[in-house]
Structure 1
Amino acid sequence: MRNNCREFYQLLLKGSQAHARWELEMSTNIMKSRKRQVALFLLLLPVIIGGIAIAAGDGLGLPGALGGKNAYMPSHYTNLIFFASVFVGLCAGLITGCIGAGGGFIIAPALMSAGVKGILAVGTDLFHIFAKAIMGSVLHRKMGNISVSLAVTFLIGSITGATLGGWLNRALYDANPVLSDLFITAVYVFILGFLSFYALSDYFKARRGSSAGKQEGRGEQVSPMGQRIQSVHIPPMLTFDEGVTPGGRKISAIFLILSGFIVGMAASIMGVGGGFLTFPIFVYGLGVSSMTTVGTDIFQIVFTAGYSALGQYAFYGFVFYTLAMGMLLGSLIGVQIGSLVTKVVPAIQIRGFFALAVTAGFINRFFALPEKLQSLGYIKITKELGGILGTVGNSLFFLVIGAFAVWVFYAFFSNISKLTEEGH
């Protein structure tokens, strides 16, 4: 059981790494294209106008259609909120670019720690992912690795799952906003707790020189679970991986739909795009090759995140556009700087910071639980104690993430001459 969990973690990490490479490529596409830079400016224009309006003291703020003060959620503009969102996006980008995984996991916890309702943090994160995806799309470069039949069938499940996840978040929020926050927090505690345990375990094993994470030597062999699933013949059967093995492999569409349902629901509940789950489910669960998995994963993220962001959150007023644009701006810069730092920093340090960042997110959400449980009457502690625990979790979280950002910038500027030489 423990070996299965460790293998699942390794594939989960691979999924996050594939997503990080995609984010870097999207960021590079935007930064190098004048047309995409103009598109980014147009997206940021309402935020800029809102800032000028507030500074002028005319009280207009952002238009109501863009989340003004009369919107369903109080997502009006303030300079502090906008620059805080840039900082959150920057830190997430630095983690994604430098560590190669995990940056998206800190966004919703960071926003919730700053006082943003959980459902609004999820919707905003999904919108930020979608905006970045459509601006820096690299789908045309990956189409050769996409099995169209797998992708379309998978999307049937992911759209259904995203619909249920979005409905569940909204229903819980309508019932009680604190209950909604508790649910989202509990999901993050479970996911980040799992990641934190194995990330720390792998880091300390690597420090001792043991062979952590060597499961990747499987090559393109089908996992035992994948073999069992592919042996089940329930029509319609889909053929894939023709370029990996003669004649390809076959799998029942029902398993693709169920897998998509799980990924779509997780994406819609957590606001992370769902890409981190696709890799372990496809490779470990379904026996799909890593090449096909990466292409299909990128394809599904665009549609799943887009549908979730717009259909399940934006249309209901649960997207904080000011935050989304700030995070987009910060992450574009952060991913670029973080990816450069990997050239001058030992791999063991990068692995350690990944473990530390995920653990900080876990501690943050774990310490937020008592206050929410107390507010709902599920546990009996004083309100003051719950508030103190939440403050401790927030302080530790931002201390770790802030220290990481300072360290990355120090490594970048102290090695800028070396990086410039390598660039030439």
Structure 2
Amino acid sequence: MNFFKQWGKFMIQGSRYYAQWEISNAATILNSRRRTAILVLLLIPAIIGGIVFAEDISTAMPDLIGGHNAYSPSYYSLGIFVVSIFVGLLAGLITGCIGAGGGFIIAPALMSAGIKGILAVGTDLFHIFAKAIMGSVIHRKLGNVSVPLAFVFVIGALMGATGGGLLNRYLYELNPVLSDAFISTVYVFMLGFLGIYALTDFLRTMSPGKASGETGGDTMGGLPRKLQSISLPPMIKFDFEITPGGRSISWLFLVMSGVLVGLAAGIMGVGGGFLTFPIFVYVMGVSSMTTVGTDIFQIIFTAGYASITQYAIYGFIFYTLAIGMLLGSLVGIQIGAMVTKVVSDITIRGFYAIAILSGFVNRLFSLPIKLANMEIISLSQETGAMLNRIGTWAFFIVIGIFGIWVFSVFFRNLKTLRGKEVRS
């Protein structure tokens, strides 16, 4: 029980650092006229293509990808493009306001909108890669990156991303329904674990005299000390600024950690950044400062490699949806980040737990009809479809209420927020 409690804390901390990266990226893009102009130029072919060629794309795609007519890849329409902007906006609001975990709702939201799971994963990875390239702040963090540490870790991450991509594509070719069920199951376990921990953390925080007990992570525990004491050369050195002579760890542990992060990115499409922080800080004993810089480094390479080599060249990316999500998330992150100045931290914690649990319920309720279609369980199509609709409506209602609340707080406090911006 204590292991799950500790790992839950580490995962939440990791998703918060990942959110800080997203917020920094969004600010970098929107504060640059040149980068904003590039984004606008990217939107033009996305919108025109959707209006002019939507019908042609929707009829051609089943023949282009896999040849599975019964469960063919999602059709494209202008409506789906609008949904992608909406999904990106909501994910951005969660990331900016809550400071954690907005990316976790993207794949479930896209799948609920009719996008096949493998396309949702590939498109999400490409959206992350595009955001990382356009808003790259790695040049500002180079002083915090241990190049040998990052290089060895990325080797493992690319291996893991390859494995994740191969697995997703194999399951899709075997049976597209099995592919959707597998991706949904992964999200059920991930979001269920995070959501339950976040809810218990929120309830614990509400109790008088209780604190969340989060730590920065720079003080090493027993596991990092043990791993760093194991000599399996070559040993990779890092954190010379933290400890005289630096710290060191075997390349094997770095590669293994990279494989895990890359595998998560390749299967779930979330970039893997939420895992990097807890693994680096709490398992391998890397300082949080070095971890943040290295995480930025790995996200660019892992998301870029996985999205292009494992999904794009096989046709499992909707470019227009990725651009729509990028646009929506940039706006959402900015509004959400401003709202944090006028709402309490405990309210933010509560919304985070509810948002993650709504994603959990969404994917959980989508599974019965998929399992019935594969004849794993006996269930009528009407019952399965009803459960799927309940999960979809519950998800979008919860996330929609959150979005409405954020916008209402934003507009009610617009004068106050403007005053804080002027003073800052």
TM-score norm. by structure 2 comes to 0.95
Superposition pairs of residues 127-146 of structure 1, within 5 angstroms? 127-146=126-145
Structure 2 CA distance for partners of 1:120 and 1:344, relative to 1, 3 Å: same
Distance 1:297 1:189 in 2: 25
- Is the 8 Å Cα contact of residues 50 and 61 (structure 1) preserved in structure 2? no
Structural RMSD (CA): 1.7
Query: Equivalents in 1 of 2:290, 2:330: separation in Å?
Result: 27
The Cα of 1:8 is off from its aligned counterpart by 1.6
CA positional deviation for 1:53: 2.4
Give per-residue Cα distances to partners, 1:61-118, cap 9 Å, x unaligned: 79x9xx9786436565422111111000000000000000010000000011111100
Q: Deviations over 1:238-262 (max 9, x none)?
A: 1111111111111000000000000
Alpha-carbon distance between aligned partners in 2 of 1:276 and 1:51, rounded to the nearest angstrom: 33
Q: Does the alignment pair 1:156 with 2:155?
A: yes
1:378 paired residue number: 376
Select the residue among 209, 214, 232 that pairs with 2:230: 232
Q: Give 1:375 deviation, angstroms.
A: 1.0
Which residue does the alignment assign to 1:356?
Answer: 354
Contact 1:97–1:338, Cα closer than 8 Å, also in 2: yes
Matched, 1:261 2:255: no
Range 380-389 or range 148-157, more displaced: 380-389
CA distance in 2, matches of 1:263, 1:44: 31
What amino acid maps onto 1:156 in structure 2?
Answer: I
> 1:302 corresponds to which residue?
300
Contact 1:50 1:77 in 2 (8 A): no
Question: How far apart, CA to CA, are the structure 2 residues paired with 1:308 and 1:61?
Answer: 24
- Given that 2:51 and 2:77 are in contact with CA atoms closer than 8 Å, whether structure 1 keeps it comes out as no
Is this contact kept in 2: 1:47–1:77, CA < 8 A?
no
2:332 is aligned with 1:344: no
Which residue of the partner structure matches residue 94 of structure 2?
95
Match of 1:184 in 2: 183
Distance change >3 Å, CA 54–CA 236, structure 1 → 2: closer
1:207–1:155 Cα change, 3 Å: same
Change in CA separation of 1:74 and 1:187 when aligned onto 2, cut-off 3 Å: closer
Q: Which residue of 1 aligns with 2:247?
A: 249
Q: 1:226: how far off?
A: 0.7
Q: For 1:213, give the aligned amino acid.
A: S
Q: Deviations over 1:124-171 (max 9, x none)?
A: 000000011100100001111111111000011000000010000000
Residue 371 of structure 1, CA deviation: 1.1
Q: Is the 8 A contact 2:74 2:115 kept in 1?
A: no
- State the secondary structure of the residue aligned to 1:165: helix
1:48 Cα deviation after fit: 2.4
SS of alignment partner, residue 216 of structure 1: coil
Instruction: Give the ranges of 4+ consecutive aligned residues of structure 1 lying more than 3 Å apart after TM superposition.
Output: 59-62, 67-71, 73-77
- For normalisation by structure 1, the TM-score amounts to 0.95
Matched-pair contact (CA < 8 Å) for 2:122–2:311: yes
Partner residue, 1:405:
403
SS at match of 1:251: strand
The aligned amino acid for 1:25 is S
Aligned partner of residue 409 in structure 2, secondary structure? helix
Pick from 272, 275, 289 the counterpart of residue 273 of structure 2: 275
Deviation per CA, 1:207-245, whole angstroms, max 9, x where unpaired? 11343421416x522121111111110010011111111
Q: Quick check: 1:162–1:304 contact (8 Å CA) kept in 2?
A: yes
- SS of equivalent residue, structure 1 residue 214: coil
Find the aligned partners of 2:354 and 2:136 in 1 and give their Cα distance.
31
Residue 4 of structure 1: how far off its partner (Å): 2.5
Task: Pick closer, same or farther for the CA change 1:209–1:71 going to 2, 3 Å.
Answer: farther
Match of 1:365 among 363, 366, 372: 363
Q: Which moved more, 1:290-299 or 1:71-80?
A: 71-80
Q: Which runs of 5+ in 2 are unaligned?
A: 66-71
Map 1:149-228; keep pairs closer than 5 Å. 149-216=148-215, 219-228=217-226
What is the rounded CA distance, in whole Å, between the counterparts of 1:15 and 1:52 in structure 2? 40
Secondary structure class of the residue paired with 1:190: helix
> For the residues of structure 1 that align with 2:252 and 2:16, how far apart are their CA atoms?
28
Q: Residue 185 and residue 77 in structure 1: after superposition, are their counterparts in 2 closer, same or farther (change >3 A)?
A: closer
Confirm or deny: 8 A CA contact 2:47 2:78 kept in the other structure. no
The answer to whether the 8 A contact 1:158-1:261 is kept is yes
Alignment-derived partner of residue 80 in structure 2: 81
For residue 69 of structure 2, what is the aligned residue in structure 1? none
